[in-house]
Structure 1
Amino acid sequence: MSSLPQWLIPHWPGLPANVGALSTTRRGGVSPAPYDDGMGQGGLNLGTHVGDQPHNVAQNREIVRAMLPGAPAWLSQVHGTTVVDVARIGPQEVPEADASLSTVPGKVCVVMTADCLPVLFCDVEGKVVAAAHAGWRGLAAGVLENTVDAMRAAGAGELMAWMGPAIGPYQFEVGPEVRQTFLSDALDDSGVRHVEAAFTPVEGKPGKHLADIYGLARYRLHRAGVKQVHGGEFCTVSNSGRFYSFRRDGVTGRQAALIWIK
């Protein structure tokens, strides 16, 4: 049994009228536990690589496809920094990449997540859109900056971004190597302060910190010249009835964030 699909429509002030965007939840599909909706009904798992039956994923993807102007350009995500142009992806091709962009109406950019941070981009004139998958490794390696650079190379003007559902700052416990990775990349004292503010020591666990992936992404986006950054109010781990979370459940599904030019 499936429940009705439930989408998140980004609260994104200034989004051009010719740009569409949405983020799926775990609700409204056909997948059984552990890929269900968290309430005993079918889940909208969109990942082909998590152990769900292929026919379930195909049906779930068709449910999402019905909301869109074209088929999403699915990626094989590897926590890297590669950005692809969806207009150059063949119908059956699933490129290894963690971000995509589009300048063509009806071509849909998509990334899947289950705690990692999805970031949707567009320029203020609605000429270029993009989606990026930013776990901490990809974020530290520069996937957001690469996406910004690729969009500018494609003719984008002033950029804006929306951060979708990800692991929240009270749930993302990390070791010292993660904090040091981001500190090492800070360019000046101001950057160091921004990075340090994103890490809160965990009481009773020396070296452990709670990381604010939203705060880290905001810093890197602002540094790359993206001044209008929205979203960042959801926590996938804390909301089991709405979102898939790998950290919470281990074996679980994937939700998606999508953007396109109408």
Structure 2
Amino acid sequence: MKYIYPDWPAPGQVQALSTLRAEGVSVGVYQGLNLGDHVGDSMVDVAENRALLRDDLPSEPCWLQQVHGTTVAYADNLHERVAADASVANHTDVVCAVLTADCLPVLFCAQDGSVVGAAHAGWRGLLAGVLEETVAAMAHPAEQIMAWMGPAIGPNAFEVGSEVRTAFVADMPSAASAFQGAGSNKWLADIYALARLRLKQMGITQIYGGEFCTYGDAERFYSYRRDGVTGRMASLIWISDARAA
């Protein structure tokens, strides 16, 4: 299976990856490794895709019912799917996971490898504070946490209305730098820059990733903005059980 692996200095026991749409058994608009079971794809195909992914993981991922909110689930004790947009774990081989197809997946880990987290940040969740809530749930000083931003819609493709820019700037004036004018009441938003600003404001200085564009790379990525009905990629992170190595 082909994956994107974060290019970051995470400790050795921390394992992380983002899936690509290549391979997999889904067909039509979901062609490839669609992992979303809520987008209209064949449930049989999604189950087979998830089984293919599961072969490369230590346990079944803790899938969430993502609602563009700020709730953080504690994956260590998660026995059923809950409505949340982030999860954290400090036990080994517990896989935190988020699904995306333009929204920003952010993976977190403590520098000592004792806790990890995954967050799904669309613009609504980003503005509402899903990254801040995830970091708070990790219960470590922000300066001891690093973050990796996975595949999301790029700054040349993410068009939003003026109300979105106004809301971000009202919350953080420096967010104005993350928007470029695109015509009457339209703006191009840089979701990576917006996330980076919020991470830095928390005190996180080790921030990596942010070089992808799901919208512009149909071969590798699903994109809701580009295609409407489409599949989902997953970004996952866990603490490996070193004793099994």
Q: Residue 39 of structure 1 aligns with which residue?
A: none
User: What is the TM-score with the length of structure 2 in the denominator?
Assistant: 0.96
Equivalent residues in 2 for 1:23-172, closer than 5 Å: 23-36=18-31, 43-90=32-79, 93-152=80-139, 158-172=144-158
Deviations 1:216-247 (A, max 9, x none): 00000011111100000000000000000000
| Aligned partners of 2:151 and 2:213 also within 8 Å | yes
Query: Partner of 2:159 in structure 1?
Result: 173
Distance (Å, rounded) in 2 between the aligned partners of 1:74 and 1:244: 18
Letter paired with 2:108: F
Residue pair 2:142, 2:204 contacting (<8 A) in 1 also: no
Q: For 1:225 and 1:173, how far apart are their aligned partners in 2? A: 29
- Please give the secondary structure, in 1, of the residue aligned with 2:139: helix
Kept in 2, the 8 Å contact 1:16–1:126? The answer is yes
Alignment match of 1:185 (pick from 171, 186, 192): 171
For each residue in 1:101-125, what CA deviation from the matched residue of structure 2 results, as whole angstroms up to 9, or x when unmatched? Answer: 0000000000000000000000100
Q: Distance in 2 between matches of 1:126 and 1:169?
A: 31
| Contact 2:143 2:204 survives alignment (8 Å) | no
Contact kept, 8 Å, 1:124 with 1:157, in 2: the verdict is no
**Residue 178 to residue 157, structure 1, CA distance change in 2 (3 Å):** closer
8 Å contact kept, 1:162–1:231: yes
Is residue 168–residue 236 contact of structure 1 (8 Å, CA) maintained in 2?
yes
Structure 2: 5+ residue stretches without partners: 241-245
Query: Contact (CA 8 Å) 2:142, 2:203: kept in 1 or not?
Result: no
- TM-score, normalised on structure 1? 0.90
Post-superposition Cα deviations, 1:185-208, rounded to whole Å, max 9, x if no partner, equal: 11xxxxx2x311100001xx2111
Aligned residue in 1 for 2:181: 201
C-alpha displacement at 1:157, in angstroms? 7.0
**One-letter amino acid of the counterpart of residue 137, structure 2:** A
Equivalences, count: 240
1:248: which partner in 2? 226
Identify the match of residue 16 of structure 1 among 11, 16, 28. 11
Structure 1: which 5+ residue stretches go unaligned?
A: 37-42, 187-191
Shift of 1:131: 0.1
Percent of paired sites with the same residue: 57
